[in-house]
């Protein structure tokens, strides 16, 4: 039986994602197939994970607190979201906890990413494995948000932040809410 290449494993994993995640990572097949090195594909995956995290926090602020959309996005955009504090920020906004082992699942990919960013060598196989880990992590992040909050941050957020007939808070009240949640404005 022929050995399945790591590249094929990544593309197979991508093809198996639900539609919203395939759209979220829409450039991944092009990066994998048309660029000679997989490093840009890994960087792209981490960028898309961070975008999903920020979108999730923004959507929570809008859903839970009806904050002013512009101020809510500014607060999320200005916040330094790190590997270690994302779960805390999420909990502060939603009152829910992400699975304790969720963070551990992305760590092997972070190790590979860090090696590349700091000029160290990694094999192509290691990088492709890290990309699969990123996709799996994002699936689990989506699942955790869906279970806790009823939406998936990596994918279309149509209708997530709106509640028909309910006004958003004015700027002054939104500022107070955001500061109360620990955001710096």
In this prediction, residue 156 carries a pLDDT of: 87
Average pLDDT of the segment spanning 151-159:
89
- The whole-angstrom separation of Cα 2 and Cα 136 is 25
Report which secondary-structure segment, H or E, holds 16. Answer: none
Sequence-distant (≥ 6) Cβ neighbours of residue 94 within 8 angstroms:
60, 64, 148, 149
Q: Which residue has the higher pLDDT, 2 or 184?
A: 184
pLDDT the model gives residue 165: 65
CA gap 185, 182 in Å, rounded: 10
Indicate the domain borders of the chain.
Answer: 25-180
CA distances from 142 to 4, 76, 135, 185 (A): 28, 18, 11, 28
How many Cα atoms within 13 Å fall on the side-chain side of residue 9? 17
Consecutive H or E run containing 125: helix 124-149
CA distance 71 to 63: 14
Q: What is the pLDDT of residues 9-34, one digit of tens each?
A: 999 999 999 999 999 999 999 999 99
154: pLDDT strictly greater than 70:
yes
Q: pTM to 2 decimals?
A: 0.93
Q: pLDDT digit string (tens) for 34-82?
A: 998 999 999 999 999 999 999 999 999 999 999 999 999 999 999 999 9
Give me the pLDDT at residue 184, please: 87
pLDDT at 162 over 80: no
pLDDT at 2 over 50: no
């Amino acid at each position: 039986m022929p050995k399945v290449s790591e590249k094929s494993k990544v593309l197979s994993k991508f093809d198996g994602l639900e539609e919203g995640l395939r759209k979220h990572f829409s450039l991944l097949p092009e990066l994998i197939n048309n660029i000679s090195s997989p490093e840009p594909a890994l960087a792209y995956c981490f960028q898309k994970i961070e975008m999903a995290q920020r979108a999730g926090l923004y959507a929570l602020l809008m859903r839970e607190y009806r904050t002013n959309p512009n101020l809510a996005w500014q607060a999320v955009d200005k916040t330094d979201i790190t590997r270690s504090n994302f779960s805390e920020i999420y909990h502060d906004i939603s009152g829910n906890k992400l699975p304790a082992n969720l963070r551990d699942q992305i760590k092997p990919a972070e190790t590979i990413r860090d090696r590349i960013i700091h000029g160290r060598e990694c094999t192509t196989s290691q990088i492709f494995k890290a990309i699969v880990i990123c996709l799996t992590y994002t699936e689990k992040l989506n699942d955790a948000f869906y279970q806790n909050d009823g939406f998936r941050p990596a994918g279309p957020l149509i209708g997530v932040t709106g509640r028909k007939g309910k006004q958003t808070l004015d700027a002054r009240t939104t500022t107070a809410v955001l500061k109360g949640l620990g955001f710096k404005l």
